[in-house]
Amino acid sequence: MHDDRKLTEERIERMLRDRVRPALRPESAPVTLDAWHGTSAPVPVTDRSAGGEYHGSEVGERWGPPWSTTWFRLRGEIPVEWAGRAVELVFDPGFDHRRPGFQCEGLVYRPDGSIVKGLNPRNEWVRVSEAVAGGEPVEFHVEAAANPVILGDHSFTPTELGDPATTGTEPLYRIERAELTLFDNRVEQLVHDIEVLDQLMRQLGTDEPRRWEILRALDRCMDAVDPRDVGGSAGRAREVLSPVLRKPAHASAHRVSAIGHAHIDSAWLWPFRETGRKVARTVSNVLGLLEEHPEFVFAMSQAQQFAWLERRYPQLHRRVRSEVAAGRFVPVGGMWVEADTNMPGGEAMARQLVHGKRFFLDEFGVETDEVWLPDSFGYSAALPQLITLSGSSWFLGQKVVWNQTNAFPHHTFHWEGIDGTRILTHLPPVDVYDSELSAAELAHASANFAEKGGANRSLVPFGWGDGGGGPTREMLARAERLADLEGSPRVTVESPAEFVREARAEYTAPPVWVGELYLEFHRGTYTSQAGTKRGNRHNEHLLREAELWAATANVYRALPYPYERLDRLWKAVLRNQFHDVLPGSSIAWVHHEAEREHELVRGELAEIIDRAQRKLAGSGSTPLVFNGAPHERAGVPSGGAAPSVEPAAFVKLSETDDGFVLRDESLRVTIDRRGTVTSLRDLAADREVVPAGSAGNVLRAHPDLPNRWDAWDIDSFYRNNVTELLDAEEVAVVEEAADRVSVRVVRAFSHSRITQTLTLRGGAARLEIDTEVDWHESETLLKLAFPVDVHTDRMAAETQFGHLYRPIHENTSWDAAKFETCAHRWVHVGEAGYGVALANDATYGHDVTRWAKNGGGTAATVRASLLRAPRFPDPHTDRGTHRFRHVLVPGADIGDAVREGYRLNLPSRTVRGASPVDPLVTSDNAAVVLEAVKLAEDGSGDVVVRLYESSGGRATSRITTGFVPMNVRATDLLERPWADGEIEHDTAGFRVTLRPFEIRTLRLERT
């Protein structure tokens, strides 16, 4: 047979495009189009005519200044000759059909205010009726959002459209279509048949008989289609395809659990405000599909989005509740939002799970069993334990399959966290979280699946995502045809619970991955938008203090505990930990709002703290120092208040031709005329920390020009060019006292100005560096570097409830790929018997390298990333003033690093009062850290304590209480009874023994 494959494939392509698809809507009738152009803020359906009436509009008219809302009214009459046939309204306000979810969208209402469905580029129709009578009037109202296209064709072009203050007022969109149409269901089914077979055929090899069988059948189908009457010939054409559509899949075919989904970023290239509307549009479409397709199951994550729906769209929420009860609309994820997991602190990560799971339990009676994070930028090694302690049992991720350097080796596996907890984990091999169930995607899932031979099942979330939209009727038609089709994986639409049950049954001994799921991509998110990160860090610690002091004041002074305020404030902080907000990858509008909200939260928390501390201090004039950190300092116990007892200490200052020497009994610090630290002598260890010929406190500026994803990425080649900022306008002593000396260093760089204060406090055994940057750069990365004379091949970095070690060599491509990593309050490098810690109060991005010294041995350089200046999606990222505090601690072990991290982030507070305040709860082992002390969420008045082992070793601690507990019980994160049951206690406390990095939540019952 002659090879006419190319000719036939081109024929199929054109017939489908130019003849068959256009016949879906063979006739049209006009509608009257009116518009009411609202303000920039969304206008509720009840107020859509407030301040003005609808005015006549027409196809071709421009509308929609950026971020504005326009209400359209479409009215028409169904032609008499259409009686009994399916009719749809088609409205295209100017869609770019390539980018659903990233541009203008609409929500359709009936005249009575009831919601019909959402409109987007892949969903521009509204079904009027399946069988209407002729002459009936039709009227719909559309709330249209003129959201600008920020990310056009992945060009990463800087744009001012992400900030309402700079967007301008020119309309963005042009109305393209508004009409009533006949909808031919016969042609619709033919289109689905042809599309599925054509897509499948093109995935099969040219040496496979099945490909040629499908090609010939499609060729005969084209013969059977009458271009002048596609609808009338559709049945005949489908009969030609029926035999090839009936052939079952191979017995060994990969099995796909297809789960309807709409990954909706809670904020990204749109503000939080718009996300609530995206949720409504998506959910209204999903509810329509659930009515029409009994086999359909839809999964939606993020409790925050359900809460928005409940508050703003109660009619949709009521319908969702009904479908949840029926098991077809499935809440998943168990978190308040799909958070970043690298940067939230330990207690914040726990509260994401607490608030998410509690919402689903309270609202729907549903116990979510998974954490669902397909789009977060890597996954913390603390997650397996936290997921388990929340009452969930498995994890779904995605993003690490997008690694730049190394292909992640598993799709279904056991993931082991820092404490040894293992959970079943699945990374869908389809490699997307917004599949359209195309043959190409399914073929990729099957070929890509790494567990072949041990398992044969994967999950595919299908539905337009990021900007929402969700599944479509076309996707469900594909799923129906691909359920059991030769050449394709078997596709079953089912719930996540059904998938994981089958996955566990078939794969009883999956491989184990130990440690973090590091994403070799998007490393710049540890640094971008420093203001958002600083607000998050500070409020996490203020929340800790607010709960601690409010609980203490309640138990000791009967001060009412602010349950509702703390709940609201926690949710505000958690919302801004969404994986495009805290990482700094959203438009300017989002970050301006986040920083304003952080400031408001900060003010409220300060008020709660001050009220509780004043109540505890009582009336008096004695200065009482309140210590909110988990370790004693200056004689003040953790969680208590007392007069500070500072040990006698001294600092000596001397000036030389080369600079200044600062010295106390522990350290001698030499600062040269450039403001760099040329010597840091640990007198107690008789050891020089700065390697010979090196200098610390060096600010380094690098060109920061990633290939793509500006705010997200730092590419390794940034290291090829560096400018060390060594010229100083001023190096001068600014404070000299018996117990402290400070030296100020002022530098000018390009358009920016940097002021540092280096302080040595007597007896503190640490060097403090306070850096203020007035930043006006573009595409520049600023780092603070400290070389240390320590021989090591790894670093320790704090993560939630512990730390992990990362290599600082480049033995393998996996090692080399970790050239920028995340740490919380500290990093530590050490050799046997000696280490150095660098603690911080607001930064996350770090890199540590090692290098050979003259004469033998190696040293390491620790660098903290302070600022970036990417131009997309916010062209003015980080412009303005920023303050960073770092502490360099020579001779530090891990315990010292933990203590310094807390000390720096939880400064003491002084209140005048009558007498000291005993701690509510204390630990006698420094390695056992009290992370949270609060009252139980159920309002019982019980005290809840969350503690963890911080050093990486086994630890036993005596926990002392300032009250007599009736019972002490272990609980999960949600404060429900845990397997350990009751803990033996006496009138003053109890003992706990923890494995390395173990987290325990304890409920102390009060009378």
Residues sharing a CB contact under 8 Å with residue 716, sequence separation 6 or more, in sequence order: 816, 819
Rounded to whole angstroms, how far apart are CA atoms 284 and 212?
A: 42
Structure tokens at 847: 């890199």
The Cα-based distances of 325 to 260, 329, 330, 470, 788 in angstroms read 17, 8, 9, 21, 60
- Residue 661, Cβ neighbours under 10 Å: how many? 17
SS (H, E, C) 224-290: HCCCCCHHHHHHHHHHHHHHHHHCCCCCCCCEEEEEEECCECCCCCCCHHHHHHHHHHHHHHHHHHH
User: Residues 800, 380: contact at Cβ < 8 Å?
Assistant: yes
Alpha-helix residue ranges (DSSP H) falling in 558-622: 563-575, 588-617
Cis peptide before 227 (omega within 30 of 0): no
Comparing C-alpha atoms, which of 275, 329, 285, 268 is closest to residue 305?
Answer: 275
Tokens linked to 852: 């050979």
The beta-carbon contacts of 274-279 under 8 Å, at least 24 apart in sequence, are 274/67, 274/145, 274/147, 275/305, 275/308, 276/305, 276/308, 276/309, 276/312, 277/42, 277/105, 277/107, 277/143, 277/145, 278/101, 278/105, 278/467, 278/468, 279/305, 279/308, 279/309, 279/313, 279/468
Cβ atoms within 10 A of the Cβ of 4, count? Answer: 11
SS (H, E, C) 305-341: HHHHHHHHCHHHHHHHHHHHHCCCEEEECCCCCCECC
Sign of CA dihedral 187, 192, 195, 201: negative
**Both tokens of residue 605?**
């928390």
Helices and strands, counts by H and E, the chain? 17, 53
- The secondary structure of 781-844 as a DSSP string is EEEEEEEE----SEEEEEETTEEEEEE-S-SSHHHHH-SSEE-SSEEEEEETTEEEEEEESS--
Q: What is the distance between the alpha carbons of residues 585 and 603, in angstroms, rounded to a whole number? A: 26
977-982 contacts, C-beta under 8 A, 24 or more apart: 978/389
Which residue stretches of 842-939 are H helix? 894-905
Length of the chain: 1007
Per-residue CA distances from 598 to 574, 582, 593, 608 (Å): 11, 11, 8, 15
682: left (phi over 0), alpha (psi -120 to 50) or beta: beta
Residue recorded with tokens 């502490």? 887
C-beta atoms surrounding 660 within 10 Å? 20
User: What is the distance, to the nearest Å, from the Cα of residue 874 to the centroid of all Cα atoms in its chain?
Assistant: 18
Task: Record the tokens describing residue 421, joined without a space.
Answer: 């907890």
* E strand map for 365-432: 370-372, 394-396, 412-416, 422-426
Report in angstroms the alpha-carbon separations of 902 from 381, 503, 846.
Answer: 20, 42, 18
Which is catalytic among the residues 92, 375, 466, 710?
375
Q: Are 799 and 825 in contact (CB under 8 A)?
A: no
865 touches 882 (CB < 8 A): no
Q: What angle do CA 426, 428, 432 make, to 5 degrees?
A: 140
Within 8 A by CB and 6+ apart from 902, the residues are 629, 630, 631, 825, 929
Residue 375 designated active-site: yes
User: In this structure, are residues 147 and 103 in contact, taking their beta carbons and an 8 Å threshold?
Assistant: yes
Residues annotated as catalytic (active site), given as ranges: 375
